[in-house]
Structure 1
Amino acid sequence: MHQRTTRVLALGGLAALTLSLTACGPAIGDGGEAADSSKLQAPTEASPSGEITIWDREGDLFSVFDEAIAAFNEKYPDIVVHHEAVDIAAKLQNTLITGSDVPDGVFLDDQLVAGYADHLWDLSDVLAPYADDIAQQKLDVNSQGAGIYGVPFDLDPGLLFYNATALEAAGVDASSIETYDDLLDAARAYKAAVPDSGPIHLEQSPFLGQLQLEMYASQLGTAMTDADGQLRLDSPEYEQILTFLDTVSSEGLGTRAEYLSPTDVETLDSGKQVFVPWAIWFDFAPQQLLENTAGDWRAMPLPAWTDGGARSGAMGGSSFILPKDGENSQLAWLFYEFLMFDEAGYSTVWGANSVYPEGLNTSIPSYLPAADPAKPLFQPVDAFGGQDLWAVATEAGAEIPGGVPTPSWWGGAVDYLGNNIQLMLDGSLTPQEVIDDSTADIQANLIDRQ
């Protein structure tokens, strides 16, 4: 299965895990920075040399990064990159605790970075030259206190994917959708024309349902916690989002299925499910999984919650972390600096390659000079009728409000908030009960026990 799918499902397997790692002793970097320093410094050698071990998950992104090593070695011929496909969810925690065979760099989901922060280099200094040109949301989610603990990789803007052919046949004008109220009206009109349909995707996975909820919240400039880590679920914004989801469910306007499960794929490919508010990485489905409706799908910015409101929010994302106990952290920084901030690097990652001949189109760069709407790194997508998805995604990405640090207990909250969303969709809880019950449980079982 596609890397984007396995990534979120693997992270879902960690949903019940709240990481509480004990910090290891500080390391000395290649350049000899002070042992008590928590901030990584860039190497000063004119021609740095050495070997680095980089962990990624097996899948298409592993192959993309692997192919980029040759371009990196054109700039740094004396740095040998050992690129390993690893079950990061299974190995990273114990590796950091024991301090044995620690890699120099690791590809990690943004939601997990905070849980490992005690073991990671603070990257504030090395990122400083680029910080003004990195999407603020990515800096925010990788921050803890005054430190930044991940090199931002992708930006995953939320988009509204829709089956243009099916909507046109039903007489529904997708171009009229500008707000979520408009989306509800369009779904009602489609269901009237196609009675056995459930037009809007309703996520059945507690983890992914929580992740999607945070995409909606991101649009409204909020999140489960504020910048100080205080819960703010009990707010008009979350009530509005949950009421929308409850309306979709109670009026029969949704198809409830786990993301890209057989039920999900069948209803998408049969015209029963025609609206998917999701991160850009949903575009994998029409390209690889949908046989009957490939070419029928299009993407637009998410509807706004209020007139003139933001038309996108962040849903997921990944970054690169550098463990303090890695032997060559500074050289690993050069590798990630090249991939993310050097035109030769990011063009290799998102541009045409042997894995994605037309470019990697399941995300966009979080480095703003690389995400220029006028300079596409990937080509129009045939499965979207030749639509210029780059332009849609980069313009949506520019609308994502800034965020806040991701709490270390985010995954553990799925046991409460994620599950309660599902109970609401079952009809067992009201939106306000989801807020009240989740707030109480997260506070008592996750925050107060830290």
Structure 2
Amino acid sequence: MSTSEKTFLPNALTTNPSISRRTFISTATGTLVAAAGLAACGGSASSNDLNSTSGTITIWDRSGDLFQVFDATKESFNKKYPNIKVKHVAVDVDAKLPSTLATGVNVPDGAFYEDNNLPVLAAKYYDITDWIKPYTKDIVPFKLRVNTYNGRIVGIPWDLDPGLLYYREDMLQQAGVDPQSIETYDDLLTAAHNIQDKFGPKVKPIHLEQDPGLTQLWVEMFANQQGVSMVNEQGKLQLNSQPYLNIMNFLKRIRDENLGTRAVYYSPGDIAAIEADQVAFYPWAIWAVYGPELLFKKSKGKWRAMPLPAWTKGGTRAAVMGGSSFIIPKKAKNPHLAWLYYEHLVFSPEGYRAVYGPNKIYPGGLNTSMPSYLPALKEPLFKNPAGLGDQDLWQVATGTVNNIPGNFTYATWYNQAVTYFGTNVQRMLDGQMTPQQVLDKSTSDIQTKLIARS
């Protein structure tokens, strides 16, 4: 990751529109694009196309380290398709793509896009259902679901961001806490109390997110773990439900029992608290490994990762937090050529090894996300991170994949809901609302101000 990106926060859901998850972790710069002309074939491109396809595709991606990683994949792609030129352009995708698709002027052949943004422009994406059909059985169900609209697949699933519990192994050892004893979120609270008893009240062991946008993303990880999302597949609100009440009660207990270090993810204050040994647990996406790897100094190598605790004993310990995909606009000039590139990038060993394996940009490989294509998970693609004491992060993360609930839907108004839901969760953490009031108020606001007006 470039030094210019280290001060930013992840996800386009934050209250600051210039802050995005991918800007921060550089973890998914979708590059290459488009797809179309194969519709008559009813499937993905075959080997017969190798010498008969030619043209130029324009692929939009964000600038940064991953732009260079994806750019380097063109060499292996052109060994297969020597007559397809990839014009790789660095743009602010979030800012430029919506207006470009709306006007239909200078539309790229493909672009990277955050999963939470996908539904807003879904009607303007190329239907790739037939092309991707040979691969669908091997794509993580969660990722296939968020790229499906009106029963058709309109996006190419790329990265998978499993939720994990990062913890300070040395602090747990000194407090006599066995990580294996943390099977549920109740167990996590008990472990946090034990650590606080050992190290004193200044230690508030569990990270408690303070940014409204990241809070909403975080809560959705906990919701996905319980098999729900803010809306169901029919678009009906599900906020006022037991799974979300479980989450609110858990967060409020962290606050009320003085167990939470409340800070914005990897902000200066958050890092300072971590380096002062005040934080021992960080339930977050895999991309939080960036902290132990590149941000933390004093505690580097002392962190470890494990599956999330379960909401009920024996329940699933797997979930997703964030993610991104690739889209091919309907008005792309060469959609079928862009599909060939994405097919190479996402579904071929040469493609996903080039992205996730050791390279000039990431000598140890890209470890802040994982492929969502199951065959790519059969071999470790990145090295054990030194920030986790050379722990086998690949094994820990892939061990959760088969248990990730696939029943998840992003609403078209997801980002706008931060003003209501994400903000109300913060009000609860300020002591201004109860868990039930958060759900009641957020449901009412979203229903009247977002759904009814859409």
TM-score strictly above 0.5: yes
Q: Cα 1:270–1:251, aligned 2, differ >3 Å: closer, same or farther?
A: same
Q: Which residue of 1 aligns with 2:337?
A: 331
Write out per-residue CA displacement over residues 57-105 of structure 1, whole angstroms, 9 at most, x where no aligned residue: 1122212111111111111111111111111122111111111111111
**Please, which of 298, 303, 310 is the counterpart of residue 304 of structure 2?**
298
Measure the CA separation in 1 of the matches of 2:102 and 2:371.
Answer: 32
Residue 369 of structure 1, CA deviation: 0.6
Q: Cα 1:343–1:96, aligned 2, differ >3 Å: closer, same or farther?
A: same
Write out per-residue CA displacement over residues 224-246 of structure 1, whole angstroms, 9 at most, x where no aligned residue: 11111100111111111110000
The residue type paired with residue 453 of structure 2 is R
Q: Which residue of 1 aligns with 2:219?
A: 213
The residue type paired with residue 354 of structure 1 is K
Structure 2 residue 276 is the aligned partner of structure 1 residue 270: yes
Q: Which residue of 2 aligns with 1:161?
A: 166
Structure 2 residue 420 is the aligned partner of structure 1 residue 391: no
Q: Which residue of 1 aligns with 2:26?
A: none
The residue type paired with residue 12 of structure 1 is T
Residue 327 of structure 1, CA deviation: 1.0
Contact 2:61 2:89 in 1 (8 A): yes
Contact 1:115 1:408 in 2 (8 A): yes
Measure the CA separation in 1 of the matches of 2:296 and 2:68.
Answer: 24
Measure the CA separation in 2 of the matches of 1:236 and 1:351.
Answer: 41
Contact 1:40 1:122 in 2 (8 A): no
Residue 41 of structure 1, CA deviation: 7.0
Write out per-residue CA displacement over residues 262-321 of structure 1, whole angstroms, 9 at most, x where no aligned residue: 011111122101100000000010000000010000000000001111111110000001
Structure 2 residue 114 is the aligned partner of structure 1 residue 106: no
In the TM superposition, 1:40-439 aligns within 5 A as 42=45, 45-47=49-51, 48-194=53-199, 195-372=201-378, 375-439=379-443
Contact 2:289 2:368 in 1 (8 A): yes
The SS at the match of 2:111 is strand
Measure the CA separation in 1 of the matches of 2:36 and 2:137.
Answer: 27
Measure the CA separation in 2 of the matches of 1:85 and 1:235.
Answer: 42
Please identify, of 404-413 and 383-392, the stretch whose mean Cα deviation from structure 2 is larger. Answer: 404-413
Contact 1:51 1:81 in 2 (8 A): yes
Contact 1:40 1:121 in 2 (8 A): no
When the two chains are superposed, the root-mean-square deviation of aligned CA atoms in Å is 2.1
Residue 193 of structure 1, CA deviation: 1.6
Residue 15 of structure 1, CA deviation: 7.3
Q: Cα 1:251–1:7, aligned 2, differ >3 Å: closer, same or farther?
A: closer
Measure the CA separation in 1 of the matches of 2:110 and 2:129.
Answer: 16
Q: Cα 1:40–1:85, aligned 2, differ >3 Å: closer, same or farther?
A: farther
Q: Cα 1:328–1:13, aligned 2, differ >3 Å: closer, same or farther?
A: farther
Measure the CA separation in 1 of the matches of 2:103 and 2:351.
Answer: 33
Please identify, of 238-247 and 62-71, the stretch whose mean Cα deviation from structure 2 is larger. Answer: 62-71
Q: Cα 1:337–1:299, aligned 2, differ >3 Å: closer, same or farther?
A: same
Residue 169 of structure 1, CA deviation: 2.4
The SS at the match of 1:276 is strand
The SS at the match of 1:252 is coil
The residue type paired with residue 8 of structure 1 is P
| Count of matched residue positions in the alignment of Structure 1 and Structure 2 | 434
Measure the CA separation in 2 of the matches of 1:226 and 1:210.
Answer: 17
Residue 119 of structure 1, CA deviation: 1.0
Q: Which residue of 1 aligns with 2:10?
A: 8
Structure 1 gaps of 5+ residues are: 17-27
The residue type paired with residue 340 of structure 1 is V
The residue type paired with residue 222 of structure 1 is V
Write out per-residue CA displacement over residues 316-338 of structure 1, whole angstroms, 9 at most, x where no aligned residue: 00000111111111111111110
The SS at the match of 1:107 is strand
TM-score in terms of structure 2 length: 0.91
Contact 2:112 2:326 in 1 (8 A): yes
Structure 2 gaps of 5+ residues are: 19-33
Moved over 6 A (4+): 1-5
- Percent identity of equivalent pairs: 50
**Please, which of 430, 444, 449 is the counterpart of residue 440 of structure 1?**
444
Residue 42 of structure 1, CA deviation: 4.7
Measure the CA separation in 2 of the matches of 1:109 and 1:10.
Answer: 8
Write out per-residue CA displacement over residues 20-76 of structure 1, whole angstroms, 9 at most, x where no aligned residue: xxxxxxxx9763858xxxx99758744211111111111222121111111111111
Contact 2:35 2:339 in 1 (8 A): no
The SS at the match of 2:326 is strand
Contact 1:159 1:278 in 2 (8 A): yes
Measure the CA separation in 1 of the matches of 2:280 and 2:168.
Answer: 5
The SS at the match of 1:128 is helix
Residue 172 of structure 1, CA deviation: 2.6
